Copies of this chain bind each other. A is one copy, B any other.
Amino acid sequence: MGLLVVGSLGLDTVATPFDRVEEALGGSAVYISLAASYFSGPVYLVGVVGEDFPKEYIELLEENHVDLEGLQIIEKGKTFRWSGKYHYDLNVRDTLLTELNVFENFDPIIPEKGRKAKFVCLGNIDPELQMKVLDQMEKPQFVVCDTMNYWIEGKKDTLMKLLKRVNVLIINDSEARLLAKEPNLIKAAKMIRDMGPEMLIIKKGEHGALLFGGDVIFSAPAYPLEMIYDPTGAGDTFAGGFIGYLHKTQDLSPENMKRAVIYGSAMASFCVEKFSTQGFEDLDYLRVQDRYREFLNLSRFDEK
């Protein structure tokens, strides 16, 4: 057992048409590890913050059994900050500010016990750093990786090397099209899997997600929410729920991968119902089970 999560920790200022929050807990490593720790520990977080990172956020992570031995707190350093504004159509957002701060010189160092972890989730950071993380791992069994347009366009060569070392790549539909240079998602998926990852998950926001693995294609619906409060972190929460469930069950069969995609989707649906991590930081297990069943009802039809 043991899941290593590497990514960003930040303070997010987010405006939606409904409300606004300042310097809320954010960052890919935060969303991933909180969602994953919900299913099973130990979860080892590796990342960096400045001295200004609020103590209550540290406590929140610790209360959720996220192991912070690998969290670097830089003396006199300033935490990564991001600010964004969502439009009336929440599929559209503007980034107002990105301040890398201590994240600019982040050098991920994996603590001894983290190196032995069998499950690894590489949040969306520079592929060179993602590579550096893998170099430190002893014998990872299952590596999940996220990336984004910025690295696909700017660090393609490193990314291509990295992709040969990951089991599952999780990206969104526009990233998949960009990476494969192919508008048809099904064809793009085949091309991306030829680059290395045995499995690929394409996140499609309000349209759900697609899982490609072996001969399996699985289409997961999105949870039908009438009110999306804040989409920030939904993709990372999905990844955290996905790998957290696999880590808990230790079952990498295609059928269990499908369940993991649904659990990831369920966690993401709770995430977007509130600002920051509030939607899933105190989640009752029964509510998650209920939502899983709602996903079943949503997509089930019978043979005929």
Chain B contacts of A304 at CB under 8 A? 259, 292
Please report which residues of chain A, range 230-270, place their CB below 8 angstroms from some CB of chain B when the two chains form the complex: 255, 258-259, 261-262
Closest B residue to A302 by beta carbon equals: B255
Q: Which residues of B contact A298 (CB under 8 A)?
A: 217-219
The answer to whether A95 has its CB under 8 Å from any CB of chain B is no
At the interface, yes or no: A224 with Cβ under 8 Å from chain B? yes
Interface pair B301/A225, CB less than 8 Å apart: no
* Chain B residues with CB under 8 A of A24: none
Q: Does A227 count as interface, using CB distance less than 8 angstroms? A: yes
Q: Please report the C-alpha to C-alpha distance between residue A303 and residue B296 in the assembled complex, in whole angstroms.
A: 7
Q: Which of A5-13, A135-143, A146-154, A180-188 contacts B (4 or more CB under 8 A)?
A: A180-188
Residues 90 to 132 of chain A near chain B (Cβ within 8 Å): 90-91
Q: How many angstroms from the CA of A292 to the CA of B304 in the assembled complex?
A: 8
List the B residue with the shortest CB-CB distance to A17: B183
Closest B residue, CB atoms, query A87: B183
Q: Give the CA-CA distance A207 to B208 in the complex, in Å.
A: 8
Q: Which residue in chain B gives the minimum CB-CB distance to A262?
A: B301
A304 to B262, CA, bound (A): 11
Interface centre among A210, A221, A228, A298 (most CB of B within 10 A): A221
Q: Are B184 and A226 in contact (CB under 8 A)?
A: yes
Interface size on A, residues (CB 8 A): 41
Q: Are B296 and A226 in contact (CB under 8 A)?
A: no
Q: Are B183 and A218 in contact (CB under 8 A)?
A: no
Say which residue of B88, B185, B226 sits within 8 Å of A187 (CB atoms): B226
Which residue from chain B places its CB closest to the CB of A245 in the assembled complex? B304
**A190 at the B interface (CB under 8 A):** yes
Residue with the highest number of chain B CB atoms closer than 10 Å, among A228, A293, A299, A302: A299
**Does A65 sit at the interface, judged by CB under 8 A?**
no
Contact B303 A186 (CB under 8 A): no
Complex Cα–Cα for A226 and B187 (A): 5
* Residues of chain A in range 149-208 having any CB-CB distance to chain B below 8 Å: 183-187, 190, 204, 206-208
**Which A-B residue pairs are the 4 nearest by beta carbons?**
A219-B221, A89-B183, A207-B207, A258-B301
- Not counting A218-B299, A292-B304, a sample of 11 additional A-B residue pairs whose C-beta atoms are within 8 angstroms of each other reads A88-B183, A90-B183, A185-B206, A207-B208, A218-B298, A219-B222, A220-B301, A221-B299, A259-B301, A296-B301, A299-B299
29 contacts between A and B (CB under 8 A): A89-B183, A90-B183, A90-B184, A91-B183, A184-B225, A184-B227, A186-B224, A186-B225, A186-B226, A187-B227, A190-B226, A204-B207, A207-B208, A208-B219, A210-B224, A218-B298, A218-B299, A218-B301, A219-B221, A219-B222, A219-B224, A221-B221, A255-B301, A258-B301, A259-B304, A262-B301, A292-B304, A296-B301, A300-B300
